Amino acid sequence: MSNEILANSLAKTSFRGRNRRRIMAVLTVITGCIGAGMVVGAWFSIGHVHGEAVIDLALLGIIIPLAVYSMGVVRGWQDTVAAGGELGRVAAWCTRTKTTQIIPFFCLFTILGLAQSLNHALDRPYSADTASDDASVAGFDAGMRRACVSSGMASLGDAANGPHSAQLHSRVEAYCGCVGTGLKASYSMAELAALAASADRMSHEPKVQRIIAACQQEAAR
């Protein structure tokens, strides 16, 4: 009698396990289709939203179906153990060390974090002018850094070609990067363009002089 009860219990467990696997397979296919749509949507949104939003949307489209699939795999391991079956080494280790209890929470927090990041990125205003300003700032920064490094190395005279030229070059680059960062943080693109158009104004601008002095002190350490 006890053997029959055990056999019936195992049969019921196996039946429930098969039903769960079917349900998880269907959910994986559905979320996979949704994820593919999100990745395609991210591709078509390039140039219309901030780059962070595109990346977050694409990652969500990849991670959501993977999360559903991983939870289905974990549930399958649990059903196998309940039915008295044997697991592979990795599955057995995950089950023995309770790693399977962490996976769902990890997936959930990852999805919530990406969703929050996507929400913040979409809340930020975006326009073609914004993208143009970003490119202008990047171009200004690169041009200013090249000119700064060139003039800085030229001011060193013969020392620029001496045995310590590599060390001097890296210090000049660090100084110029500091100045560029300070200028971008203190002025808008229009103000930077006006300053660049007038070397005399830049040399007498108090805010610029404070930035230069602070970067000189940093470079001298």
What pLDDT, in 10s, does the model give residues 116-149? 888 888 877 655 545 555 555 555 667 677 777 7
Give the tens place of pLDDT for each residue, 17-29: 566 677 777 888 8
**Angle formed by the axes of helices 99-123 and 89-96, nearest 10°:** 80
In the block, tokens 């949704």 appear at 34
DSSP state of 117: H
Spans of all domains in the chain: 2-123, 128-220
CA distance 175 to 186: 17
Contact 160, 154 (CB under 8 A): yes
pTM attached to this predicted model: 0.49
Of residues 38 and 7, which shows the higher confidence score? 38
Supply the DSSP string of 146-168, one letter for each residue.
HHHHHHHHHHTGGGGGSTTHHHH
